[in-house]
Amino acid sequence: MSQPPVTGPVTGPVTGPVTGPVTVGTGPLSPADVVAVARHGARVTLAPDALAAMEASRGVIEALVDDGTPHYGVSTGFGALATRHIPLDQRTQLQRSLIRSHAASSGAEVDREVVRGLMLGRLSTLATGRTGVRPVVATTYAAMLDAGITPVIGEYGSLGCSGDLAPLSHVALALMGEGTVRDGAGALVPADVALAAAGITPVELREKEGLALINGTDGMLGMLVLASADLHRLLATADLAAAMSVEGLLGTDAVFAEDLHALRPHPGQVASAANIRALLSDSPLIAEQLTSGTGRHRFTRVQDAYSLRCAPQVHGAARATLAHADAVASVELGSAIDNPVVTPDGRIESNGNFHGAPVGYVLDFLAIAVADVASMSERRTDRFLDKARSHGLNAFLADDPGVDSGHMIAQYTQAGIVSELKRLAYPASVDSIPSSAMQEDHVSMGWAAGLKLRRAVDGLTRVLAIEILTAARALDMRDGGAPGYRSAAPITAVRRRLRQDVEGPGTDRYLAPEIEAARLLVDDGSLLAAVHGELPAPLQ
């Protein structure tokens, strides 16, 4: 299940299959771990070795508490205030003040799954033993996740360096028993009330712990992993939509031949072409175009339009971008991101690993790919609606053109979404506004890149749903009410599944609910499941 648009609170409980538990601290988290906890409410446990590593690194911090040498985050202020030495009796207040002052987000409430992904990512870094926090901090985080306690975070506040400061501060604030959260049922309650109801004791932060809780890329990373999970499904769905359009527009499958794509063997392109070949295999409609008959639908074009013929090239390039993003996420999921960090040999060292550039870049790259895949989908849809290019179909696929408008405005909806996706493709990571009195003079804006990618993924889901809805209507009209289907078997299965929720062609009906029904079938994977029931192997 993919996320709703980024705007607006999600007030319900964590839903979906509860899997797990996910054990944190035995090695890098997997993307599946993040999705299971963030999206489906899986429980988390901390490995005994992780608790031991945290205890050991905490000993390093305790040894520095009163040694007289300034140590950032232990005995100094933060950011541009790092030159201020903090007396021993004020250091608990230092950590508490840090969290309260940095919990400064604003705007629409961020989706629950984003917050849970952020919490899991920070817990993973704590479990490395490189941050110097006490084990109780990590075990309390895990307890909050298991109880479904989700701190309320506004969409504005993070510059992506030093990590996602404001979002992570809201979580740390809840750990302290302050601020506002949603409980396991989705109700908006004070943090201390939610913690008490779950039997969780708030934590009083000690030296370094406040800083360790907020210095990471966990929010943008969580959004990357969730978007990647959705895009793997959506790119396979894009191949399905393209195959339906090729068939419905009486195109040729010859351009998807394996030997042609071997001439330019980009892995994503090869995979996409193989998907489309499998989807169109033994299609009666395509076979009809190759016969010597004189029917009005006989294939006479030398080449199909680019939006049909070049689908593997575009979808394949998007797959390559996604593969790169997955590689970045994999490194990040196995990283310990904090500043300063406790090294394995017991040193405490400042560093710049909190900078979000690696994650911010790929979030932006994916938004570009999403916009292009959606743009091609909209162009295929438009061909169905233009009587001059649809090869024998009614104008706008209307039952009685003029009296009926058919799918005319469905394409307008697509066009509006695609236009927004192009705006969302403008990279956030090229921007930087200095902060903290020029101490933090270059920032990643990775959090903003993540938020806009989430909205882009939602837009692509809707665009593909409209193309599939339109292609299915066109194919029904090709069949002309005759018994049976003239589609390839996988496409026939998709059409049948769609018709369980959406009626076939007829006079104009209220169209918005039909678009939403198709979106849900794309979103939950039902259409791909129908395809996979007809293929020897799942789409790549």
> Residue 246 sits in a domain of what CATH number?
1.20.200.10
In this prediction, residue 7 carries a pLDDT of 33
Segment 510-525 shows an average pLDDT of 98
Q: Of 72, 141, 306, 412, which one is the catalytic site residue?
A: 72
Segment 453-476 shows an average pLDDT of 98
User: What is the helix, strand, coil percentage profile of the chain, to 5?
Assistant: 55, 5, 40
14 is a domain residue? no
Rounded Cα gap, residues 161 and 449, in angstroms: 13
Segment 527-540 shows an average pLDDT of 96
Of 191, 216, 241, the one marking the end of a domain is: 216
Alpha carbon 320 to its chain centroid, in Å, reads 16
157 is a domain residue? yes
Three-state secondary structure readout of 240-275: HHHHHHHHHCCCCCHHHCHHHHHCCCCHHHHHHHHH
Q: 68 falls in which pLDDT band (50, 70, 90)? A: low
Q: 4 falls in which pLDDT band (50, 70, 90)? A: very low
In this prediction, residue 296 carries a pLDDT of 44
Of 159, 190, 216, the one marking the end of a domain is: 216
Q: 528 falls in which pLDDT band (50, 70, 90)? A: very high
Shared domain check, 211 and 177 = yes
CA dihedral sign of residues 533, 534, 535, 539: negative
Whether residue 82 has pLDDT greater than 90 = no
Domain count, the chain: 2
In this prediction, residue 435 carries a pLDDT of 81
In this prediction, residue 84 carries a pLDDT of 72
Rounded Cα gap, residues 71 and 9, in angstroms: 40
Shared domain check, 402 and 316 = yes
360 is a domain residue? no
Whether residue 293 has pLDDT greater than 60 = no
465 is a domain residue? yes
Whether residue 436 has pLDDT greater than 80 = no
Shared domain check, 521 and 390 = yes
HSE-up of 163 (CA within 13 Å, CB side)? 32
| DSSP H or E segment with residue 24 | strand 22-24
Write out pLDDT tens, residues 229-262: 999 999 999 999 999 999 999 999 999 999 999 9
Whether residue 1 has pLDDT greater than 60 = no
Write out pLDDT tens, residues 322-348: 999 999 999 999 999 998 999 999 998
In this prediction, residue 443 carries a pLDDT of 85
Segment 371-383 shows an average pLDDT of 98
In this prediction, residue 120 carries a pLDDT of 98
Whether residue 271 has pLDDT greater than 60 = yes
Shared domain check, 207 and 106 = yes
| DSSP H or E segment with residue 410 | helix 408-424
Whether residue 173 has pLDDT greater than 80 = yes
Shared domain check, 383 and 470 = yes
In this prediction, residue 58 carries a pLDDT of 94
Rounded Cα gap, residues 392 and 377, in angstroms: 21
In this prediction, residue 81 carries a pLDDT of 62
In this prediction, residue 5 carries a pLDDT of 33
In this prediction, residue 2 carries a pLDDT of 37
**Measured over all CA atoms, what is the biggest interatomic distance in the chain, rounded to whole angstroms?**
94
196 is a domain residue? yes
Rounded Cα gap, residues 29 and 170, in angstroms: 23
Q: 88 falls in which pLDDT band (50, 70, 90)? A: confident
Average pLDDT in the chain: 91
pLDDT above 90 as % of the chain = 79
Comparing C-alpha atoms, which of 301, 411, 300, 317 is closest to residue 369?
Answer: 317
- The lowest-confidence range among 112-126, 288-302, 488-502 is 288-302
15 is a domain residue? no
175 is a domain residue? yes
In this prediction, residue 6 carries a pLDDT of 33
- Residue 400 is part of which domain span? 224-320+371-532
Shared domain check, 191 and 57 = yes
3 state SS of 124: helix
Residue 182's beta-bridge partner residues? 150, 188
Whether residue 55 has pLDDT greater than 50 = yes
Shared domain check, 272 and 202 = no
In this prediction, residue 483 carries a pLDDT of 61
Write out pLDDT tens, residues 475-504: 999 998 666 789 999 999 999 999 999 999
Shared domain check, 128 and 253 = no
Q: 294 falls in which pLDDT band (50, 70, 90)? A: very low
The phi, psi pair for 53, rounded to 5°, reads: -65, -40
Higher pLDDT, 360 or 296: 360
Residue 156's beta-bridge partner residues? 106
Segment 67-85 shows an average pLDDT of 68
Burial letters 46-68, b for 16+ CB under 10 A, else e: beeebbebbeebbebbeebeeee
3 state SS of 180: strand
Residues 6+ apart with CB under 8 A from 337: 125, 163, 215, 216, 217, 218, 353, 354
Whether residue 15 has pLDDT greater than 60 = no
Of 174, 192, 216, the one marking the end of a domain is: 216
Residues 6+ apart with CB under 8 A from 56: 129
333 is a domain residue? no
Shared domain check, 275 and 207 = no
110 close to 155: Cβ distance less than 8 angstroms: yes
Shared domain check, 210 and 247 = no
Shared domain check, 65 and 43 = yes
> Residue 182 sits in a domain of what CATH number?
1.10.275.10
Examine the residue annotation and report whether 72 is marked as an active-site residue of this protein: yes
Whether residue 375 has pLDDT greater than 60 = yes
Segment 148-163 shows an average pLDDT of 92
In this prediction, residue 12 carries a pLDDT of 40
Shared domain check, 392 and 246 = yes
